[in-house]
Amino acid sequence: MAITAPTIPKASGWKLFLKTVIARAYPRVIGQQREKSWMFFDIFLPILGIAAYVFVYRAIGAPEEYIGFVVMGGAMTAFWLNVLWSMSSQLYWEKEQGNLALYIMAPNSMMAILLGMALGGMVATLLRAMVILVIGGWLFQVRFMVANFGLLILVFFLTMTALYGLGMMSASLFLLLSREAWHLANLAQEPIYLISGFYFPVKNLGFWIALTASLIPLTMGLDAMRQLVFPSAAQFGFLDVQIEILGLLILCVLFLFGARSLLNYMEKLAIREGRLTESRR
């Protein structure tokens, strides 16, 4: 009598998508615990930058609200760096390490793979951001007074959704540009700090520059969160919170749709040409 091997049920559809997300998030969460020195530098270095702006603002007699703006902006830099280095450049690094071909051949969705990486990285990033807020608020005597926690959580969720959608969309662009990905990542880091208003109200840049900068989700998200956390910050706000929430909703749809379209194009390109390298013609 022949012995047949037990059949293992194969996941498909939303089950496969969910399992892929969990599988890719797991290494990010575990990996952060193995390199505890990274967490120290990810917290210590942003606090140094925050301190520099705080001392400058106090020296020139800026409004006290600016101190709180700097602390919040310093905490949000963790999310931007996570998107820039752990999302946008991810597929390029996977190609360099020889893993990209496995991702392309696998039956799961590329969006599920990137989403898992995003969620895994967001766990550690959220922890770092909270520690920066607590330490920065304690060091510089910042008083946080949240009037509406529900609205604040909604703004944060929409900001993260749009931001990581932008990261997934740019991952395809960085991959297709190949070796230029490293230079683009370095080029994008500091200018975003400026035009997104990480350390000052973006309103000070002028209406049209601030409106253009609002294409980056952190611009409107950070401005809205500041208005919700500091009651007197409304006078420094770029737009009304309700308008910024609507803008974030539009960016969520735009970037998620763009990410799906670009990832599908990249997969078709890999299948048609058999390669995704800088030697592609």
Cα separation, 98 vs 44, whole angstroms? 33
Cα separation, 68 vs 140, whole angstroms? 9
| Host H or E run for residue 168 | helix 149-177
**Residue 84 confidence (pLDDT) above 70:** yes
Q: For the ranges 8-12, 42-46, 94-98, 169-173, which has the lowest average pLDDT?
A: 8-12
CA-closest candidate to residue 47, choices 142, 141, 136: 136
The CA–CA distances, whole Å, from 186 to 19, 58, 84, 191 equal 33, 30, 9, 10
Please report the pLDDT score of residue 263 as a whole number.
79
**Residue 24 confidence (pLDDT) above 60:** yes
Enter the pTM of the model. Answer: 0.81
**Residue 246 confidence (pLDDT) above 90:** yes
pLDDT bin (cut points 50, 70, 90) of residue 281 is very low
Percent of the chain residues past pLDDT 70, beyond the cut: 85
Taking only the tens place, the pLDDT of each residue in 89-101 is 777 777 777 777 7
Q: For the ranges 31-35, 125-129, 273-277, which has the lowest average pLDDT?
A: 273-277
Residue 234 DSSP class: G
Taking only the tens place, the pLDDT of each residue in 70-81 is 888 888 888 887
Could you tell me if 17 and 114 are in contact, meaning their C-beta atoms sit under 8 angstroms apart? no
**Residue 164 confidence (pLDDT) above 70:** yes
Higher pLDDT, 6 or 123: 123
- Identify residue 45 by its one-letter amino acid code: L
Structure tokens that stand for 62 in this block? 């800026």
Mean pLDDT of 20-32: 78
Cα separation, 145 vs 230, whole angstroms? 6
**Residue 33 confidence (pLDDT) above 90:** no
Mean pLDDT of 51-57: 88
Mean pLDDT of 195-204: 86
Cα separation, 101 vs 91, whole angstroms? 10
Could you tell me if 133 and 72 are in contact, meaning their C-beta atoms sit under 8 angstroms apart? yes
Cα separation, 174 vs 96, whole angstroms? 13
**Residue 192 confidence (pLDDT) above 70:** yes
The single residue listed with the structure tokens 């989403």 is 115
Please report the pLDDT score of residue 254 as a whole number.
92
CA angle, 158 then 255 then 83, to 5°: 70
Burial code of 1-17, b = ≥16 C-beta within 10 A, e = fewer? eeeeeeeeeeeeeeebb
CB contact set of 85 (below 8 Å; sequence gap of 6+): 185
Taking only the tens place, the pLDDT of each residue in 174-184 is 777 766 666 77
